[in-house]
Structure 1
Amino acid sequence: MSHDTPENTSQSTPPSTGQAVKDAAGRSAVLGAIFLMATSAIGPGFLTQTAQFTGAMGAAFACAILISIVVDVAVQMNVWRVVGVSGLRAHELGNRLLPGAGYALAALVVLGGLVFNIGNVAGSGIGLDALLGLEPRIGGALSALVAIGIFLSRRAGLALDRIVVALGVLMIVATLVMVFTSSPPVGEALRSTVAPDTFDAKTVTTIIGGTVGGYITYAGAHRLIDSGRTGVEHVADITRSSVISILLTGVMRILLFLAILGVVAGGVTLAADDPAGSAFKAAAGEAGLRMFGLVLWAAALTSVIGAAYTSVSFLTTQRTPEKVRTAITVGFIVLTAGIFVVIEQAPAKLLIFAGTFNGLILPLGFTVLLAVAWFRRDLLHGYRYPMWLKVIGLLAWLLTLWLGWQALQGLADL
């Protein structure tokens, strides 16, 4: 994939406009990194989880959402800051810190990304089925071809940035329409944000793992490296981007929660096998089902792109030739799409297995990055890491250990 660095974009550009082109390319890449992280988090599982928890907890789910956003911001600020300032990917930092640690992290991320991408392709097929009536296998295969086309395009980096931004905005707007359609009890939701009638700690940890677990943790930060906006001089960009990416994910979850809450508050019982789809259909009939198909397809396609891009970033380095990276990325998508087309469904057992890996990947990767922040100033080019960020990172790390323990228990139950 083309890195779309300022040097690449300004070739044969007159000196008088060269700086403006560089700045525009940089802003586009940073925006793409923000949306790549956000849209990678908003996948089929994100939609299903949000609908299930809203159906089960009602307005009280608002408190869990708020807590998860705060924790997610703490995690992502540290991940983006360490990766962005060092200019090294997470697995490269891991190997610099402790030989072999980076390879272990890469293996977990790629395994989880590979299995989850089967689910993402399946979600894209189901989305096109709800939107256009296409058979899911055909819809999944077509969506995979769209993703492959993006990575094979002449300026793949720019194409990736633009498509994830466009689809991210599309998802938010479509869900916002459903919020107005379902007329949720906003006042009750606001009250429950700080004073919920019920509280479930497991729900909080589940949605945290689903938002910043697995490959999702590194999607935006690794794209930022490819954009060229790294180093101490870009700390402000790095910090701002990390917060905005999580806030975008939070906005989508809040809107989806409100849209479904309006349906649940009206007395509708969501379908167990398709809670989100049944909520959209209850809110707006056949048009609502089509809207759900659009949201699901956009969420799944961006997750296919994010999973492929981020997983391959753990299999390569910045010295890997562009053609090799592209070939591996295309192969990754073809493999996952092919498995879905053959078996016609996402393998539930494998998805559960990969899901537990999210809880293992987060503490392992976060331990590496925090260790760099605390003890390896040399890897940060002499940058003095802020103590306040270290402290909130440490608190978030303790929670990731809890997630890891939950994941181990989940593996024992499989």
Structure 2
Amino acid sequence: MTQHTPADTPAGSQPAGSQPAGASGFSRTAVMGAVFLMATSAIGPGFITQTANFTITLGAAFACAIVISIVVDIAVQMNVWRVIGVSGLRAHQLGNAVLPGVGFLLAGLVFLGGVVFNIGNIAGAGLGVNAMLGLDPRIGGAASAALAVGIFLSRRAGVALDRIVVLLGLLMIVATLAIAVTSSPPVGEALVSVVRPDTFDFVATTTIIGGTVGGYITYAGAHRLLDSGLTGPEHVGDITRSSVVSILVTGLMRILLFLAILGVVAGGAVLSQDAVGGPAGAAFSAAAGEAGLRVFGVILWSAALTSVIGAAYTSVSFVTTSATAERTRSLITVAFIAFCAVVYLIIEQAPTQLLIFAGTFNGLILPIGFGVLLWVAWRRRDLLHGYRYPGWLLAVGAIAWLLTLYLGYNALLLLGDL
């Protein structure tokens, strides 16, 4: 077996933010950062809106879709994290190793989608500040983008990134839990609906799967894992646990948000689409009055800011390698965020048509990128440093990949309608 170290192919040095932790050679803080970077990248403004709308439409039956999506998401992320983590190569590098040009195509899709989504994330941060403090959304969006820029300009950008995503991720979970308790949801009915739903919505299920592991989100944690130094066959156990925990964190947030809104809906409240923060904001207001709206603002702002950070970090990781100097990566990331912020300020609102267009990339990126990684697992043992990939995990991944083909097909249909 080829000897492999955290600084192997193609990196020559360990980036800032990955501090050796004893004999393990990687920072536990950075590993937690990778887990929460993936989780909080998924928990963005769109995540909150989707969960609210499907809860209002499906009621307790949405619990079944949530559980199924968590299972599928785990199958996808276990494969993505293991292939990237064991190989020590980023997804686009693996793509070019499999078939020259595929990696560039994947990088282009991720980067373009990341730019457009980040404009929406900054808009979401502005709305969060508006709900939280009553400030003009444009001021809130600009200030949030400036905060994200400050994180990447800090002397220890890697450490700052890891700590902020963990802190804001925990803040979102605790705040949502408080509202879920206040709204008194019918937990028993939701549990029964997991195995015996009144109705099952396949579209809702596939939509939230794409929203959780589609686009740049698929690779956010795995690429951060490379920068943590946790790479190589010898770290398979840690890599696998990290990938599962990242989805469980996302799933926990989805469940708590679902229960918070379900309690309000079950109580007979009518949630207006025109309320501050849409139906989700209306639900929090109905559950806890003015304080509920402020809490919703904190959650929406935290979700948007961490998504700004996640989208920027991951998009830039597709146009650089681990060998790129840390300062260079940080400056590119800052330019990425600044550009998105300027576009947001010019158009003054989230560009709905562009967001829909970028959303189709999620459906296109997932089968392409995931297919490449499964091919590496199946046929390119040399890229995995001799590691024998488990047949059961490959089979589970293949089944999940078939579902991503459905998402990709729907994305092509949507592109034709735009």
TM value normalised by structure 1: 0.96
- Partner Cα separation in structure 1 for residue 26 and residue 305 of structure 2: 24
- Partner Cα separation in structure 1 for residue 28 and residue 37 of structure 2: 14
- Give me the identity figure in percent: 72
Match of 2:285 in 1: 281
Match of 1:388 in 2: 392
**2:333 equivalent to 1:366:** no
SS at match of 1:80: helix
- How far 1:319 sits from its partner (Å)? 1.6
- How far 1:183 sits from its partner (Å)? 0.1
Q: From the superposition, tell whether residues 23 and 373 of structure 1 become closer, same or farther in structure 2 (CA, over 3 Å).
A: closer
Match of 1:209 in 2: 210
**2:346 equivalent to 1:342:** yes
- Partner Cα separation in structure 2 for residue 24 and residue 367 of structure 1: 31
**2:88 equivalent to 1:115:** no
- How far 1:84 sits from its partner (Å)? 0.1
CA contact (8 A) 1:26 1:227 kept: yes
CA contact (8 A) 2:33 2:163 kept: yes
Q: From the superposition, tell whether residues 212 and 230 of structure 1 become closer, same or farther in structure 2 (CA, over 3 Å).
A: same
CA contact (8 A) 2:26 2:229 kept: no
Map 1:90-129; keep pairs closer than 5 Å: 90-129=91-130
CA contact (8 A) 1:55 1:269 kept: no
- Partner Cα separation in structure 2 for residue 307 and residue 3 of structure 1: 19
- Partner Cα separation in structure 2 for residue 107 and residue 133 of structure 1: 38
- How far 1:25 sits from its partner (Å)? 5.6
- Partner Cα separation in structure 1 for residue 146 and residue 28 of structure 2: 28
- Partner Cα separation in structure 2 for residue 354 and residue 271 of structure 1: 26
1:222-264 alpha-carbon deviations (Å, 9 max, x no partner) = 0000111100111011000000000000000000000000000
SS at match of 2:198: coil
Residue among 302, 318, 321 paired with 1:298: 302
- How far 1:293 sits from its partner (Å)? 0.2
- How far 1:23 sits from its partner (Å)? 5.4
CA contact (8 A) 1:182 1:259 kept: yes
Match of 2:318 in 1: 314
Map 1:140-219; keep pairs closer than 5 Å: 140-219=141-220
Match of 2:233 in 1: 232
- Partner Cα separation in structure 2 for residue 238 and residue 224 of structure 1: 8
Residue among 8, 11, 16 paired with 1:3: 16
Aligned amino acid, residue 18 of structure 2: T
Aligned amino acid, residue 174 of structure 1: A
SS at match of 2:231: coil
1:384-409 alpha-carbon deviations (Å, 9 max, x no partner) = 00011000000000000011001111
Match of 1:251 in 2: 252
1:258-283 alpha-carbon deviations (Å, 9 max, x no partner) = 00000000111221240110100011
- How far 1:26 sits from its partner (Å)? 1.5
1:339-366 alpha-carbon deviations (Å, 9 max, x no partner) = 1111110100000000111000000000
> 5+ residue gaps in structure 1?
8-18
- How far 1:4 sits from its partner (Å)? 2.5
Match of 1:221 in 2: 222
- Partner Cα separation in structure 1 for residue 199 and residue 413 of structure 2: 25
**2:62 equivalent to 1:66:** no
> 5+ residue gaps in structure 2?
1-13
| Number of aligned residue pairs | 402
SS at match of 2:111: helix
CA contact (8 A) 2:61 2:194 kept: yes
Question: What is the root-mean-square deviation of aligned Cα atoms in Å?
Answer: 1.2
Match of 1:402 in 2: 406
Match of 1:15 in 2: none
List, as ranges, runs of 4+ consecutive aligned residues in structure 1 with deviation greater than 4 Å. 22-25
- Partner Cα separation in structure 2 for residue 138 and residue 118 of structure 1: 14
TM value normalised by structure 2: 0.95
- How far 1:5 sits from its partner (Å)? 2.9
